[in-house]
């Protein structure tokens, strides 16, 4: 009976975590370059042999891993010369106060010093360092990331990739960093840079809404099972064995 209460409560915990992931996805449905995440939930069995070598089975349900879906969002045209979208595999490189980070959010601008920067002022990196431009001249960016002003090459945007499956950690602002220090950058060959476009969020709203409803119903079922076990236990304690 106590085992039933424990099992029901264990089933509720990962469902709460799953709801958190879904809520985060839905809140970022309009965030440029956002990648939706999900939760692997698995059940496992732990066997402990007793004196007769018969297995005692303790079934638990736990959250196994939070995963990130790196599939591409759709391209939305903005006609802003510093908006950059990437089609294909790869990330733009940004130098932040916490070090180098990687992003698919190419909503950039030009700061007062002529450097291409992200919304928080972090500088966008080129293959040879930061790219500095003249503020009063139009900018053209080729499909390979070459930045041109007045038909002169000012440098190439640093587009990099990592070994797949990706092992990345979120850093906020739609950015990532490698999860392991021995996960170095590799050249990305399969990409096209689109100037004047931004990659939209890849959140599937309908799929996430269905998952939220399903998780909510499963949580309610576990909650009712826990309450039933609790009521049965209460009767056993207060009524069974009572002397009339």
pLDDT tier for residue 49 given thresholds of 50, 70 and 90:
very low
What average pLDDT does this structure show over 97-116?
Answer: 96
CA distance 35 to 103: 10
E strand intervals along the chain: 37-49, 55-68, 75-77, 84-88, 91-96, 99-103, 109-110, 116-117, 123-126, 129-130, 140-141, 146-149, 152-156, 159-161, 168-172, 175-178, 186-187, 191-195, 197-199
- Average confidence score pLDDT of the chain: 85
Relative to beta strand 55-68, strand 191-195 is unpaired
pLDDT score, position 182: 80
Q: How many CB atoms lie within 10 A of CB 215?
A: 20
Q: For residue range 160-203, list pLDDT tens digits in order.
A: 999 988 989 999 889 999 988 788 899 887 899 999 999 999 99
pLDDT score, position 114: 95
Residue 226 has pLDDT above 90, yes or no: no
Q: For residue range 19-35, list pLDDT tens digits in order.
A: 999 999 999 999 999 99
Domain ranges of the chain: 2-70+203-238, 75-199
pLDDT score, position 183: 84
- The reported pTM is 0.79
What average pLDDT does this structure show over 110-127?
Answer: 95
CA distance 145 to 133: 15
């Amino acid at each position: 009976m106590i085992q039933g209460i424990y099992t029901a409560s264990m089933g509720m915990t990962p469902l709460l975590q799953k709801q958190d992931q879904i809520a985060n996805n839905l809140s970022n449905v309009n965030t440029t370059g956002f990648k939706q995440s999900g939760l692997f939930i698995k059940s496992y069995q732990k066997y402990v042999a007793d004196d007769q070598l018969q297995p005692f089975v303790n079934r638990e349900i736990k959250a196994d891993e939070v995963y990130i879906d790196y599939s591409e969002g759709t391209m939305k045209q903005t006609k802003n010369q510093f908006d950059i979208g990437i089609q294909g595999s790869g990330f733009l490189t940004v130098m932040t106060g916490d070090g180098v980070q990687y992003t698919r959010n190419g909503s950039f601008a030009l700061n007062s010093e002529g450097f291409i920067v992200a919304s928080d002022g972090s500088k966008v990196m080129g293959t040879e360092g930061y790219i500095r431009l003249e503020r009063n001249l139009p900018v053209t960016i080729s499909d390979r990331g070459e930045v041109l002003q007045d038909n002169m090459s000012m440098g190439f945007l640093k587009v990099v990739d990592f070994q797949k499956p990706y092992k990345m950690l979120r850093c906020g602002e739609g950015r990532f960093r490698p999860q392991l220090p021995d996960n170095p950058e590799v050249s990305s060959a399969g990409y096209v840079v689109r100037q004047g476009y931004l990659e939209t969020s890849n959140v599937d709203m309908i799929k996430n809404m269905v998952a939220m409803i399903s998780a909510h119903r499963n949580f309610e079922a576990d909650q009712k099972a826990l309450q039933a076990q609790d009521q049965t236990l209460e009767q056993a304690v207060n009524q069974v064995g009572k002397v009339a």
